[in-house]
Structure 1
Amino acid sequence: MRELLKRFKKIIFFDTETTGLDPEKDQIIELAAALVTEKGIELKIDAFCKLPEGEKIPDKIVELTHITDDMLADKGIAYNEACRIFCNMIHSDGEALLVAHNIQFDLLFALEMFKRCGMVPKAPKLRALDTLTVYKDRAAYPHKLANAIEHYGLTDKVQNSHRAIDDVLALYEVTKAMDAEREDLADYIDLLGYNPKYGITGRKLKQITYLPQSYKLGCRLPDLREGGEPCE
């Protein structure tokens, strides 16, 4: 990720586990992130976030993530404290790059967290890199993080467990593998591809360019942003 690290002092890989799919109604129950600089991973956070009094994790989320109400009660920290820790990690005197797999989901939850807590990361600008969009241009369907781990031969090195910290570390390795494969990750900054059949999930973010993304290999979504012919 040499080119990205030349451009950004901080790259933050992050992932959330949540009580549901709606950032305005549901809440983060686990927030994990890794701060990457030219020195590699400099800092990791993995925080369980306590739910408001009386709320419980839905059974289907417990089954998926193996995070339980007892775990939040025993190891969880206040939602505001988790927000403060994440904001401090992002703090930078230069632009910070946030990286996630399907970043539309995680970023909407993170932004809602900042809003609820009344906190704003102190950085001139936050930029976004969606590794899902990149991977769709690189490999055939399916495109989950687990598929990318297998595609790049990382199954013995990382795991995709639906636990946030494991997924963050896996994402970091997948991103390095994609960069080694082709040095064009910077072309995907603030670019998000969506399936035209289903449309964009959640509200549009002003800084993001949203484009319908073909599943035809050999196409690059950044070329379409620059006025190229759409892939059929």
Structure 2
Amino acid sequence: MFTSLSLRFRIFLLFAGVTAGSILVVGFSLYFGFLRTTETSPASGFVFAAILSGFGLLAISAGVWLLFDENVAKPIEHMASAMRTRIHANTDAPFDLDQARYLGDLAPALRAVSGRLSEVSEDADQLVAEETSRLTAERAHLALLLTEIPVAIVLVSPANRIMLYDGQAADVLGQVQVPRLSASIFDYFEEADLTSGLEQLDEARQEVEASVRGTRGNLKFRLRLKKLSAATGYMILIDGTDASIAPDAARPLIYDFDLSARETEREIENIPLKDISFVVFDTETTGLMPNKDEIVQIGAVRVVNGRIVEGETLDQLVNPGRPIPPASTKVHGVSDDMVADAPGAEQAVSLFHDFARDAVIVAHNAPFDMAFLRRHGRLSGLAWEHPILDTVLLSAVVFGTGEDHSLDGLCDRLGVEIPDNLRHTALGDARATAEALCKLLPVLISLGFETFGQVVQQTRRHGRLLKDLN
């Protein structure tokens, strides 16, 4: 019945009730104080009335605050986060109309506005989808043409960051360490050798040959270095006759040309979120005790410029050196037979360490997973100095502490679907976390948290959440 009244009339009734309650409290307090004066002094009666009035008014204030918090503040926060998520994360975050039932027409009006925005967005998405389809076809055609070119190709930005490589180049780079978009080219080729070759490029010499060493092992490569005439940066070509190249290697293109204009020499705290490379990972283990249990699987994906880089994933089974408990296998599906020939934890953790080089590490409940990595890092001499973000805390920053911050709860709010067959697998959960991260980043920016340092400062306010989880 109360919800059928207008919002303004309900507010009037609330304040009228507060006024009436306050008058009654003061009146009863004065009455009982007067009765007390017959037994003691008048001053004692007035003091008693004042104390009684104070407690009564405090009780009324607490009651009004609880009503406002439950029926006004929380619903407004919920609708604000849902609206922001719909707009910036491009998802249908639900409006809880029952929770906002005392706010009049506000929730239905916001839902109507959001619906209209969704219609406009769908029209725009249709145009984008058509253009994306055309670009995808052009990309496939380009990749087909590259199969006829017997060289591996790497495009490098002026800051010596990899901004494109093909499948054959991935084979070459992979002999040194995991190929990664936005990684420094000097992670793969000795800086002195490559720089010496680059110094020979000038107006007269647009292309030179250089013999360079790999940064690991005793590998040597014969490279052709070529200046880009229509763009900044340079190209590295590796001849297909080189024994290091598989002649029938697939030729997918991994690229991001926005890297050509990116600044890299800045403190991590001052780098905009959109310019950061992230590695999102998850582990599956023999149990829930990081000091005793072992890793059985590591999954990771890379996020560059706010999007998942298809093709740059890590899906590594790990031999824990002990039987996997049947209860754990029932959760993640990894059995003893599956890991019998897999590398041990130290080798697998070292592989992930390479994969995450120069990136911000992201995980859901990161302290749990990082505890395993740090333990094995100490054993193999690896230093985990990567900056870390936790999507549990990012969820709290965006949606408030009152929401469900489990991975399933976060994905539900953001419209991220986790296929049943991939849930509780390392790569499946890492992929879902990465998709959630990509949706959270624009929402964080819209809240005014544009740099890594600003986001970390906000997450520190919610550190208690992780303590409760662990």
State the TM-score, normalizing by the size of structure 1: 0.71
Counterpart AA for 1:82: A
Contact 1:158 1:169 in 2 (8 A): no
> Once the two structures are superposed, what CA deviation does each residue of 1:149-171 show, in whole Å capped at 9, x if it has no partner?
11111227898601010111111
Alignment pair present for 1:134 and 2:403:
no
Q: Which amino acid aligns with 2:320?
A: L
Question: In structure 1, the residue corresponding to 2:339 is in which secondary structure?
Answer: helix
Map of 2:350 onto structure 1: 84
- 2:380 paired residue among 98, 114, 117: 117
Q: Residues 158 and 130 from structure 1, CA distance in 2 versus in 1: closer, same or farther, beyond 3 angstroms?
A: farther
1:62 aligns with 2:329: yes
Query: Aligned with 2:337: secondary structure?
Result: helix
2:411 corresponds to? 149
Deviates more, 1:135-144 or 1:107-116: 135-144
Whether 1:173 and 2:435 are equivalent positions in the alignment is yes
How many aligned residue pairs are there? 189
Q: Which has the larger radius of gyration?
A: 2
Secondary structure, counterpart of 1:43 in structure 2: strand
1:43 deviation in Å? 1.7
CA distance, structure 2, for counterparts of residue 147 and residue 195 of structure 1: 15
Alignment map for 1:1-232 (pairs within 5 Å): 3-6=272-275, 8=276, 10-38=277-305, 40-41=308-309, 43-52=312-321, 55-74=322-341, 76-92=342-358, 96-120=359-383, 125-137=385-397, 138=399, 140-155=402-417, 161-183=423-445, 184=449, 186=452, 187-189=454-456, 191=460, 193-195=463-465, 199=468, 201=470
CA distance in 2, matches of 1:166, 1:136: 23
Q: CA deviation at 1:136?
A: 2.5
SS at match of 1:155: coil
What is the alpha-carbon distance in structure 1 between the residues aligned to residue 410 and residue 304 of structure 2?
23
Q: Matched residue of 1:161: which SS?
A: coil
Q: Which amino acid aligns with 1:167?
A: D
Cα distance change, pair 149–199 in 1 and its aligned pair in 2 (3 A) = closer
Comparing both chains, which one has the higher relative contact order based on Cα–Cα distances under 8 Å and sequence gaps of 6 or more?
A: 1
Cα offset for 1:45?
A: 0.5
Q: C-alpha deviations, 1:76-130, integer Å up to 9, x for none?
A: 22222212211111223xxx31101111111111111211223235xxx411111
Distance 1:177 1:65 in 2: 26
> In 2, distance between residues paired with 1:128 and 1:195?
16
Tell me if the contact between 1:16 and 1:164 (Cα under 8 Å) persists in the aligned partners. Answer: yes
> What secondary structure, in the 3-state scheme, does the structure 2 residue paired with 1:35 have?
strand
Which AA in structure 2 matches 1:152?
Answer: L
Query: Is the Cα–Cα contact under 8 Å of residues 299 and 316 in structure 2 kept in the other structure?
Result: yes
Larger displacement relative to structure 2 (33-42 or 55-64): 33-42
AA at the equivalent of 2:331: L
Which residue identity does 2:351 align to in structure 1?
Answer: I
CA distance in 1, matches of 2:300, 2:426: 8
Aligned-residue Cα RMSD (Å) equals 2.9
User: Match of 2:55?
Assistant: none
CA contact (8 A) 1:152 1:174 kept: yes
Counterpart in the other structure of 2:217: none
CA contact 2:285–2:297 (8 Å) conserved in 1: yes
1:130 and 1:159, CA in 2 relative to 1: closer, same or farther beyond 3 A?
A: farther
Secondary structure in 1 aligned to 2:372?
Answer: helix
Amino acid at match of 1:132: V
| Alpha-carbon distance between aligned partners in 1 of 2:444 and 2:349, rounded to the nearest angstrom | 34
CA gap 1:40/1:170 in 2 versus in 1, 3 angstroms: closer
The residue identity in structure 2 corresponding to 1:104 is P
What percent of counterpart residues are identical? 24
Which residue identity does 2:464 align to in structure 1?
Y
Alpha-carbon distance between aligned partners in 2 of 1:106 and 1:56, rounded to the nearest angstrom: 20
Q: 1:23 to 1:156 in 2, by over 3 A?
A: closer
Q: Which runs of 5+ in 2 are unaligned?
A: 1-88, 90-270
| Residues 1:57 and 1:4: Cα distance change in structure 2 (over 3 Å) | same
Deviations along 1:5-44, one digit per CA (max 9) or x if unpaired, are 42x3x31111111112222211111111112223742621
Matched-pair contact (CA < 8 Å) for 1:19–1:58: yes
Name the structure with the higher strand share: 1
Letter matched to residue 89 of structure 1: F
Amino acid at match of 1:129: L
